Structure 1
């Protein structure tokens, strides 16, 4: 790769003449329209479906921070993750406690990420490429779907993109303030979600492979110190609150738990979510424009490849874990799509058609994905759980105070517990502390627990039933043995039964 020239240190550009007000408005309008599209896709029917398991946990934590005593007893503040994002959500819940108030926070942060992607693309490849990149991210199913949920990955992606932008500014100017700013943003990225610490590996790979961008130790060490100081807020808060063992137990469980997906999971899921044409455009541009590649493209490649390799090997794989790669794919694809020849009108029309073809290939799937779900197939991180909110609301209204419920797995248990304000346990939680999430409690002898009257309701759901036949069969046995009768049934948009609550009584 060859390097583009950068402005020498201390040099100055001649300030451009101020543009007429009309020209300024015309310059801003394309980005404003893109942000409106991004906001529409992230806010449309935002609460048509209730929370999924992670959303219930994070919103419950936010409600605890906002002072909700009932949810605080069910969802303690100190569980596993840092609470930077949950603290933001808690501010919204103080204004209005609802699903919409919780989800609008990550949705708006997603729109800000689109704007920041424009800034990143403009810095790297110019205004036209930046506009196309921002538009691609605005309609990209991967980013649209995740940023509509109360998940940590959307805010993490915003902070990570900010850190990437600061690194670009440092590589251009070698000004240490930009590396310090990158350290601060990366620290906030870790506070949004601790697994983002892997992005330090991306930066190490970039600096190690790019001698043209020379970093000095008196620049690097203070920046690393800033990362540590900011990120230290999470373990320090746990220590001061007396919950230091919580984070350690969760880390050990994540390191040694069984793999939840095969190694090819990301290769199968993420390209379709990012958009096959976007991936093709991004990779093809790296090859087609290889003579123009510089440290800029190397930085973007490192930003994607290191986390992708890490999470491929890591046993725990989530659909949304690679979301910080989405802005990078959008920027690289924008660069490719705006590099086609435009000498004659036919070439300009062909270039415009290619751009709108790629945009359309993203917008249509995004529109389909934000409609109410009709399938019982569920992949964590892809949306809410149909029927869960309705089941929980039934429990809150009709189940007596002090009632306890037993579900097949913790995913539906979290959702019903959040909406129902009643404790819900799960059959599939292992009694071995080394093989379960430390946040969950096992039910070692469910038969004895029902015989003693510890549980009054059993909860069946189609999503967990698809994943574990053993525990689904066990629940069916308990329903039959303890004279269970259905008191509530929820169906999805296509009329398929998705949640059933059974009332049981001791024999």
Structure 2
């Protein structure tokens, strides 16, 4: 890669782009029309049938936390405000819940933030490679299955990706100008990224790698130290709020559990899942551009590669591998793919037709899985955390809320379905699979040390079976079946998915 520092916003290889004919309001509208159309697509795909499926486990937890912040007395007793993560995003969701309580309002917040990320990706692509590349990049992110799926859920990753993309934009400005103001803005945006989700601190490693490998972008200590100070001041809001609330140990306990828990996926998980979720042609176009345009690569491409490579390596080694953890890489792949597709020659008509056909092919191939996902109900009993809602959980919880008496307690196989039923049912739900060993369980969960004794004592009046947990934990599923048989379990509610497959069953039990 060449280390030539280029001050203009357009990359050296970007073709000149003709200005729209005319002037004034008409020309401005013609310039804005493509981006407006892309944003309409982004908003439509993120809001269409937004609540067709109920929450999954993480959504239930974050929405419950948000409802607690909004002053909901029922959910406040079941979902404490301080668990493990910062509460910046939950605070935003709580504002929406004050206006309109319910699933739609909670999911609308990340959906809007996801659409804002599409607009910011356009700004990033335009600054790096020109307006045409920015439009293509924004369109690819607007229809990308990975980004659409995650930004339709009440998860921390959509707001974290918006803030991370803003930080990346500020780094680009700093690399172009070496202005300390841009580095201070980078520190502030990274601080907000941390407050959205604390694991995003790994992006500091991306910046370190970029600056270490790019001597042409010199960082001076008098620029760097104030920027780190701004990051620290913004990020300090998380531990400070926990300390003032008397929950200083919550984050530390959660971190220790995450570091030493058993890996939930093999090392090849991201390589197997994420390229297809992003769109295989998007990934191919991004990588092909790095190779085909290698003689024109500068600090720009090095920055984008470092931004993706360090988190990918970190989370591959980290024991916990969530499907959505690499979402900040999605705008980068969209920008790199946009660069490739915008670089095709357009000197004559057949070249312009070929370039347009290539863009259409990549966009359509990426959009089709997204459209199918948002227009069809889930039918599989294989559930990947972070990939969408949990069919049957909302229905089971609402049945519990309407039929289980006040004071009733429930026992599920695992904490995932327990969280969902607890959120919708407003009844406490425990889980069989929570380990009694504090070093081997999420500190937020409480174990049931002797389930048989608890059943004999009448602690639980209902048992909840679900197909998703049953596939993953045969040992605890067998224990659950034994409890159902021993304590005269009677199925009082059954939920099925779109294919008619049973996914949730609620049993009423009685002590011997």
Measured in 2, the distance between the counterparts of 1:392 and 1:257 equals 29
Q: 1:62 pairs with 62, 66, 76, which one?
A: 66
Provide the alpha-carbon RMSD of the alignment.
1.2
Among 109, 120, 145, the alignment partner of 1:141 is 145
Correspondence for 2:88 among 79, 84, 105: 84
Runs of 4+ more than 3 Å apart: 16-19
Whether 1:257 aligns to 2:261 is: yes
- Residue equivalent to 2:6: 5
Distance 1:6 1:152 in 2: 35
Q: For this pair of structures, how many residues does the alignment match?
A: 500
Q: Select which of 228, 233, 242 maps to 1:229.
A: 233
1:384 match: secondary structure:
coil
Shift of 1:227: 0.8
Shift of 1:341: 1.4
1:94 alignment partner in structure 2: 98
Residues 127-164 of structure 1 deviation map (CA, whole Å, 9 limit, x = unaligned): 00000000000000000000000000000000000000
**Contact preservation (8 Å) 2:5, 2:216:** no
2:330 paired with 1:326: yes
Structure 1 Cα separation of the partners of residues 44 and 358 of structure 2? 24
Q: Is 1:152 paired with 2:153?
A: no
Secondary structure at 1:74's aligned position in 2? coil
SS of the equivalent of 1:422 reads coil
Other-structure match for 2:176: 172
Aligned partner of 1:354 in structure 2 is 358
Q: How far 1:358 sits from its partner (Å)?
A: 0.3
Question: What does the per-residue CA deviation read over 1:437-485, in whole Å, with 9 as the maximum and x for residues that have no partner?
Answer: 0000000000000000000000000000010111111100000000000
Aligned to 1:309: 313
1:427 to 429, 432, 437: 432
CA distance in structure 2 between the aligned counterparts of 1:151 and 1:362, rounded to whole angstroms: 23
Residue ranges of structure 2 left out of the alignment (5+ in a row): 10-18
Q: Deviations over 1:194-215 (max 9, x none)?
A: 0000000000000000011011
Q: Which residue of 2 aligns with 1:416?
A: 421
Post-superposition offset of 1:5: 2.8
Residue aligning to 1:112 = 116
Shift of 1:219: 0.3
Deviation at 1:176, TM superposition (A): 0.4
Could you say what secondary structure the match of 1:443 adopts? coil
Aligned to 1:407: 412
TM-score (norm 2): 0.97
Is this contact kept in 2: 1:453–1:505, CA < 8 A? Answer: yes
1:211-232 CA distance string (max 9 Å, x none): 1101100000010111111111
Aligned residues of 1:7 and 1:173 also touching (Cα < 8 A): no
Q: Which of 269, 275, 279 lines up with 2:279 in the alignment?
A: 275
The answer for the alignment partner of 1:460 in structure 2 is 465
- Tell me the distance in 1 between the aligned counterparts of 2:466 and 2:188: 43
The DSSP-based 3-state class of the residue aligned with 2:71 is coil
Structure 1: which 5+ residue stretches go unaligned? 9-15
The range that moved more, 104-113 or 366-375, is: 366-375
Please, which of 183, 191, 197 is the counterpart of residue 193 of structure 1? 197
